[in-house]
Copies of this chain bind each other. A is one copy, B any other.
C-alpha cells in the first residue's frame, strides 16, 4: 500500500493550530520562512513515499536476521538509510553548531511523522539516534560531544538507549549493570541489557550505545545510576574506528510486529568489559536518560499518529475500491463500501482521531521551540510547562488510540483484513508496541497525575482549562450551528476534565492507590479533551480561511464536528470511571482476581 504524506493537513495545522508564525519569528529560526518549510516537507515526503514506505511490508515479510552475533537488516534498509543520512535528515532538528540543520521541532516533527507512517521499524533507528544525540548534547563534555554526537547527527553512526534488564523494566531502580573505573579514566561495563532497539545491525559503520550502569560506590536505587557511552567499535582521537568493543548481540526477539527492527539482547563485558566513557556526572544517569526519554516519548506519540494515518489511508483506499452491498437509499446498485454508513463512520473516526492527535502533537512541538528559543523568560517557562504537560498525553493517548485505529482499519477490510497479504494486519501488529515501549501508558498516566497535575496542586492543568474556555467563547461568537455543537461538546468535556483535575488534586495525596487506579482514565480523558480542543480551533480556522481550498475546509469542519459528537462525549464516562472505580480497585485484593 502506498503512502502519501498529508502535507496539506500538516501545513494547515502548523499555520492555524500550532502557530508557526511565532516559531519562525524566533531569533534562531528567522531563516526559515513558510516557503522553505514547505519545500522541506515536500523533500521529506518524496524520500518517505518513494524509498522508505515501500519497505514497510518487506520488513514484515523479511525481518532483520540475527546470525552469530551479527544482524543483517531487511533487504533495502541499508540503501534507504544511506539515502536518509545523505539527505541530512538525521540532523534535521539538531543544532547547526554540531552539524545539524537546526530546523524547528515543529517542522522536524512533521517529517518524523512521515517517517514513522512510512515505516515504524525503519523510523525507530533515527528515533533512538535522536535520543542519544539529545543526551550527548545536553550532558556530555565537549570532547564526547564532538567524538560521538557529530557522527550521529551526520547519519554516519546510529545510537541506542540501554535501560532495560530482565529484572528492570519499568522499574529502573533495579538496574544491575555495573561500570568499573579504569586507570586511563575510562570504564569497563559488565551486564545484560534487553529490548535494545536497533542494538545491532549493518546499516551504519558504528553504533553508539548509551548505557545505564552503576559505579562501585553507587548508592542503591535510581540515585546510583550513571550514564555511559559505549561504542560498538572503539573510536580513536582522530575519529577513526578501532577495535571491536566487548559488547555482543546475543540474540534478537521474535516479535508481534515491527519485525524489521531488531530488538537485541546485548551482553556487555564477555571478556575484559566493554570500554565506556562517563557521560556528565556520576550518579546523574537517570536525569540524563530522561532527556532521551522525553524526546523519545514525544517521538513515540508521533509514531502513533503516523501508524494511525497509514492505517487510515490504507482502509480508505480499500473502501473506495471494494464493491459490496447496495446503496441504502438509492438505486439498489452495487456500491463501493465507502458509501455504507458504518464504513464511513469508521473512516471518519480514523480521520478525526488522527488529525486531532497530529494537531495536539504539533502544538506541543511549537511549545518546545518557544521554550528553547524565545528571548522572553516567561514565554520560555510557560511553554516548557505546556510541553512537559502534553508529552505524557501525546505518548499515552496517541499510542492507545493508534491501536484502536489500526483495529478499525482491519475491520473495514472485513475478511481481507485478516489475510496478511492485504497489509492492514501489519499496522494492527506494529501499533501494539507503541503503548508499551518508552514507558507504558500507566507510566505516562502516573507521570501525568503525579508530576504534571498534583505537584503544582493542579494549577497548570486548570490554566489549560481556562484556555479551552477561551476557545469556547470564540465558538460562541460564531452563529453557525456547527460551532454551537462544538462549543457544547467541548464545554462538557472541559468540565469533566476540571472535575477530574479537582479529584486528582484533592484525593491524590491521601488516597494515592484510589487515584492511581484511575490514572489511565485521567490521561485518556485529558487526551480526548485536549485533542478536541485542537479540533475546535481547527474548525474555527477552517471557517475563517476557506477561501484557499473550500473542499479541505468543508472536510475539516465536518471532521471536527464528528469528533465533537462522537468522541468528546467519552470524557464524561472517563471522569466517572476515574472518580468511581478507584475505591473498588483498592478493595479488590490480588487473591480476589
Residues of B within 8 A of A586 (CB): 341
> Could you say which of B345, B433, B485, B514 contacts A585, with CB atoms under 8 Å apart?
B345
Residue contacts A-B, CB under 8 angstroms, 23 given: A171-B324, A256-B419, A328-B512, A329-B512, A329-B513, A340-B516, A341-B517, A341-B585, A342-B446, A342-B516, A342-B519, A345-B518, A345-B585, A348-B585, A403-B407, A411-B435, A418-B436, A561-B584, A562-B581, A562-B585, A565-B577, A566-B577, A573-B573
Residues of B within 8 A of A343 (CB): 442
Report whether A445 and B174 are in contact in the complex, using a CB–CB cutoff of 8 Å.
no
> Could you say which of B328, B558, B592 contacts A558, with CB atoms under 8 Å apart?
B592
- A421-B254 contact in complex given A324-B170, A558-B584, A587-B558, C-beta closer than 8 Å: yes
Report whether B428 and A592 are in contact in the complex, using a CB–CB cutoff of 8 Å.
no
Residue of B nearest to A164 (CB): B415
- Is residue A28 within 8 Å, beta carbon to beta carbon, of the partner chain? no
A contacts, CB < 8 Å to B: 164, 167, 169-171, 173-174, 195, 253-257, 316, 320, 323-326, 328-329, 334, 336, 338-345, 347-348, 351, 403, 407, 410-411, 414-415, 417-421, 425, 428-429, 432-433, 435-437, 440-442, 445-446, 485, 512-514, 516-521, 551, 554-555, 558-559, 561-562, 565-567, 569-570, 572-573, 576-577, 580-582, 584-588, 590-593
Nearest-neighbour CB distance to chain B for A65, whole angstroms, equals 16
Report whether B170 and A590 are in contact in the complex, using a CB–CB cutoff of 8 Å.
no
Report whether B519 and A341 are in contact in the complex, using a CB–CB cutoff of 8 Å.
yes
Residues of B within 8 A of A588 (CB): 344, 348, 555, 558-559, 562
3 residue pairs, one from A and one from B, having the closest CB atoms: A565-B580, A341-B517, A342-B442
> Could you say which of B320, B334, B592 contacts A555, with CB atoms under 8 Å apart?
B592
The secondary-structure label for the interface of chain A is helix
Nearest-neighbour CB distance to chain B for A190, whole angstroms, equals 22
Residue of B nearest to A257 (CB): B418
A126 to B326, CA, bound (A): 33
Report whether B518 and A593 are in contact in the complex, using a CB–CB cutoff of 8 Å.
no
Nearest-neighbour CB distance to chain B for A247, whole angstroms, equals 21
Report whether B590 and A565 are in contact in the complex, using a CB–CB cutoff of 8 Å.
no
Residues of B within 8 A of A417 (CB): 432, 436
